[in-house]
Amino acid sequence: MDPNLWFWKNEGQSFLGRLKIWVNTLDPASLLSSDARIKKAHSILGRGAILDQWDEEALILSLSSVHADSGDVLPLIFRPVGFLTVSSPMIIASLLPHTTVRHALFWQFFLQSYQTGFTLSNRNSSSEKNKAPSLRQLLLSAGTVSYATCAGAIPEIISYQLGVNSAPIKTFLRTILPIPLSAAVAFFSVYTIRSEESETGIQVFDSNGNPVGLSKAAGQKAVRETALSRAALFGTTAAVPALLLTVLRKTRVIHRSSLLIALLRCMSVAIGFGLMIPVSFSLFPQLGTIKTEKVEKNLQVAAGDGLLYYHRGL
């Protein structure tokens, strides 16, 4: 079992514990570290050294930059710590009202493309013989990006293509609909892109960290949990500006300035998204557990304490 997963096994089994770890781990300064330094940090954890001040830094570098299945350093923009920096401008732009459908599709395409790349980079890859994605995976990803781009732009498509002029309907399309739509698109994207894990299975471990085989049941659980956490992230992010502006529109000040409305919307999206990232990462254990009776029969004998462990991914 990878040192990162060993750490999650010992320290990350409660929500508050995971949240504290992620808040400390999502340090933008780690993006400045070289690959050699990150690999050295990962090797220090692998030797089981007692944590001191340097090892705490090594822990942050390893958890934020190393894939727990392959042990490889993650691409810079697809590391968990880079998620906020890269995604924030795109999600802000995608949630703003657009003057044309083309603009909405433009920002949705960039957002969904990045989300696809992040999901692929941080998925469970324990069952893959080759590090490079298969042709099927690439085609599936391209189809997911296309579908999610169109689905994310549905409010603008309805509003402009149907020529909606009713103020209440426009308010619904621009304020209410994006909340469930963002959550649904995020859930669908993760579930589709990582569908191979449900079909081929992922590596499961016993309580001692020994690999015991591939489990489709564990793969399905890992994908479902990650899809739910991503839906919570994007659904809540879309809800924050909607709720804030609904309250503030009752005041006279906000009606006088469209610039103030746009500024408040951008700020609320960025703050809500930033606060929800560690929360969404913490909703489910990074090293998940599955009961013996829910895995394949050939794996049940390996679970001495009634549980098997698996890497959930992000």
Q: Is the pTM of this model over 0.75?
A: yes
pLDDT of residue 49: 44
Longest dimension (CA), the chain: 69
pLDDT value at residue 132:
64
Sorted by where each begins, the domain ranges of the chain are: 75-311
The tens-digit pLDDT sequence of the chain (314 residues) is: 888 898 898 887 789 999 999 998 998 888 888 899 999 888 887 765 444 444 788 888 899 999 998 889 999 999 999 998 899 999 999 988 888 899 999 999 999 999 999 999 999 988 876 566 677 888 899 999 999 999 999 988 888 877 777 878 888 888 889 999 999 999 999 999 999 898 899 999 988 888 988 999 999 999 999 999 999 999 999 999 888 877 777 766 666 667 777 788 889 999 999 999 999 999 999 999 998 888 888 887 766 678 899 999 99
Q: What is each CA distance from 62 to 78, 183, 270, 310, in whole angstroms?
A: 14, 30, 26, 18
Strand partners, 204: 213, 310
Rounded CA-CA distance 295/36 in Å is: 38
| Dist CA 147 CA 139 (whole Å) | 12
Q: Is 60 left (phi over 0), alpha (psi -120 to 50) or beta?
A: alpha
User: What are the tokens at 248?
Assistant: 């503030």
Q: How many other C-beta atoms lie within 10 A of the C-beta of residue 264?
A: 16
For residue 48, what pLDDT is reported?
Answer: 57
- DSSP lists the bridge partners of residue 215 as 202
Task: Provide the residue type at 83 as one letter.
Answer: F
The DSSP secondary structure of the chain, one letter per residue, reads: --HHHHHHHHH-SSHHHHHHHHHHH--GGGGGS-HHHHHHHHHHHHTTPPP-HHHHHHHHHHHHHB-TTT-PBPPGGGSGGGHHHHHHHHHHHHHS--SSHHHHHHHHHHHHHHHHHHHHHTS--TT-SSSSPPHHHHHHHHHHHHHHHHHHTHHHHHHHHTT---HHHHHIIIIITHHHHHHHHHHHHHHHHTHHHHHH-EEEE-TTS-EEEEEHHHHHHHHHHHHHHHHHHHHHHHHHHHHHHHHHTTSHHHHT-HHHHHHHHHHHHHHHHHHHHHHHHHSS-SEEEEEGGGS-HHHHTT-TTSEEEEE---
- Angstrom distances, CA of residue 313 to CA of 15, 138, 146: 16, 19, 24
